[in-house]
């Protein structure tokens, strides 16, 4: 029996490793059938995620957090900290930060609920003014009522009360996040060995998941840091301008920094309204300028330089992903839209060499830079030729490579 086990082990160790490209190809369906089946599968998956969003949202949040803090746990282990102690320390730190943020958000919302009745008459007047303007431009009564209903202070107070009243949901979400953080962090301790084993037969999948983890980590860490800066600057400006609820609007600005394209507009509307009610048009314009400058500098100048090509998603894909994930799993989906879209791209495109031609279509232009440079040079030569034709002179042809100076 021992001889047979030894022989079996030697045979298994000498078997050739089959990589992705060597696997037998399955019979392919007609393109139309494949597209329809893919769309049907996507719809079924999205509907299933929608119905399970109550626990799926905190699980996905815990997954993203685990990906982000994994290098920190590894760093503690390299400095001699016990594996269990390093894992527990990182998990505890992340959970304390989450709990502190949720507590601050609840306090801010409670202040907003007490602040809102003080401005109920002014809010109603704004609603009436907007309703009159809508009627003057041709909207019918039902459409005007649907818009002005949003300016009913009673509805706003009820919405805030509903958020504050869902303490059970918040507690359940925190418990799920904490449990998933613990279990995922424990499982991540064997991630290196698992990756080596899977890489023997699926090297492209392991490489794609590693690239996904690095990209998500870089994006989330940079966005979190810049979001804190953005929230603090906006909060300080609102305090100086004496806008009510400055803490809540600062927290809202921080959260909306994770929502590409539309987060800025969500974050600026409430402080604009309360600034107009308390300080008039001068405060309104000041808030508009401050938010515009801070958002432009942080998200348009600093963030692209810090994040670089870690995301590689087109603006259209990013915007649609925010809407899609917000509908499927709620507000957390809008915050995690970019990491979740990267995860889907990793599974469907990056892990399959035959599907990598999709990457330029969804925003990754690294492989197309030579073609873009060639097209730019050709366009420049065409313009030079057109200008030379207008002057009646022939354009100077480029010198051969061997005869150019340098």
pTM of the model: 0.74
Give the domain ranges of the chain: 45-145+160-189, 194-359
Report the percentage of the chain scoring pLDDT > 70. 79
pLDDT for res 26 = 53
User: Measuring CA to CA, which residue among 366, 301, 342, 305 is closest to residue 217?
Assistant: 342
CA 211 to each of CA 13, 235, 258: distance values in angstroms, whole numbers, following the listed order: 29, 35, 20
Q: What are the tens digits of pLDDT across the range 227-275? A: 899 999 999 999 999 888 888 888 888 888 888 888 888 888 888 888 8
pLDDT for res 199 = 82
CA distance 345 to 321: 12
pLDDT for res 368 = 57
Task: Show the CA angle centred on residue 327, arms to residues 230 and 211, nearest 5°.
Answer: 65
- By mean pLDDT, which of 165-174, 193-202, 244-253, 293-302 is the weakest? 165-174
Q: What are the tens digits of pLDDT across the range 263-277? A: 888 888 888 888 888
The pLDDT of 127-138, averaged and rounded, is 76
Statement: residue 369 has pLDDT above 80 = no
CA 220 to each of CA 81, 188, 224, 257: distance values in angstroms, whole numbers, following the listed order: 26, 19, 6, 11
pLDDT for res 325 = 92
The pLDDT of 98-113, averaged and rounded, is 75
Q: What are the tens digits of pLDDT across the range 205-215? A: 888 888 888 88
Statement: residue 165 has pLDDT above 70 = no
Mean pLDDT (the chain) is: 77
Catalogue the long-range contacts made by 144-147 (C-beta closer than 8 Å, 24 or more residues apart). Answer: none
């Amino acid at each position: 029996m021992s001889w047979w086990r030894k022989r079996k082990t030697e045979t298994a160790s000498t078997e050739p490793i089959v990589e992705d490209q060597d696997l037998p190809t399955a019979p392919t369906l007609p393109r139309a059938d494949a597209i329809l089946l893919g769309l049907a599968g996507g719809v079924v998956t999205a509907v299933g995620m929608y119905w399970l969003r109550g626990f799926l949202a905190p699980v996905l949040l815990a997954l993203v957090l685990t990906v982000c803090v994994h290098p920190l746990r590894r760093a503690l282990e390299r400095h001699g900290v016990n594996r269990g102690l390093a894992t527990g320390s990182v998990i505890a730190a992340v959970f304390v930060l989450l709990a502190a943020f949720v507590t601050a958000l609840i306090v801010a919302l409670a202040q907003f609920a007490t602040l809102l009745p003080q401005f109920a008459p002014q809010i109603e007047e704004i609603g009436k003014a907007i309703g009159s303007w809508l009627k003057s431009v041709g909207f019918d009564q039902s459409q005007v009522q649907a818009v002005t209903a949003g300016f009913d202070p009673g509805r706003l107070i009820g919405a805030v009360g509903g958020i504050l009243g869902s303490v059970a949901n918040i507690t359940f979400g925190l418990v799920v996040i904490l449990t998933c953080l613990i279990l995922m962090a424990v499982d991540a301790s064997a991630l290196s060995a698992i990756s080596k084993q899977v890489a023997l037969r699926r090297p492209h999948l392991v490489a794609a998941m590693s690239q996904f983890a690095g990209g998500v980590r870089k994006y989330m860490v940079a966005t979190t840091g810049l979001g804190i800066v953005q929230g603090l600057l906006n909060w300080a400006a609102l305090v100086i301008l004496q806008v009510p609820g400055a803490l809540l609007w600062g927290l809202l600005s921080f959260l909306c920094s994770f929502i590409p394209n539309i987060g800025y507009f969500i974050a600026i509307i409430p402080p604009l309204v309360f600034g107009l009610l308390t300080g008039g048009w001068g405060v309104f314009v000041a808030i508009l300028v401050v938010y515009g400058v801070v958002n432009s500098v942080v998200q348009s100048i600093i963030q692209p330089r810090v994040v670089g090509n870690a995301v590689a998603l087109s603006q259209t894909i990013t915007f649609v992903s925010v809407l899609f994930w917000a509908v499927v799993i709620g507000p957390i989906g809008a915050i995690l839209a970019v990491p979740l879209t990267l995860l889907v791209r990793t599974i469907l495109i990056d892990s399959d060499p035959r599907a990598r031609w999709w990457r330029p279509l969804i925003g990754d232009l690294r492989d197309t830079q030579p073609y873009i440079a060639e097209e730019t040079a050709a366009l420049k030569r065409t313009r030079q030729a057109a200008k030379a034709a207008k002057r009646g002179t022939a354009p100077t042809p480029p010198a051969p490579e061997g005869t150019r100076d340098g």
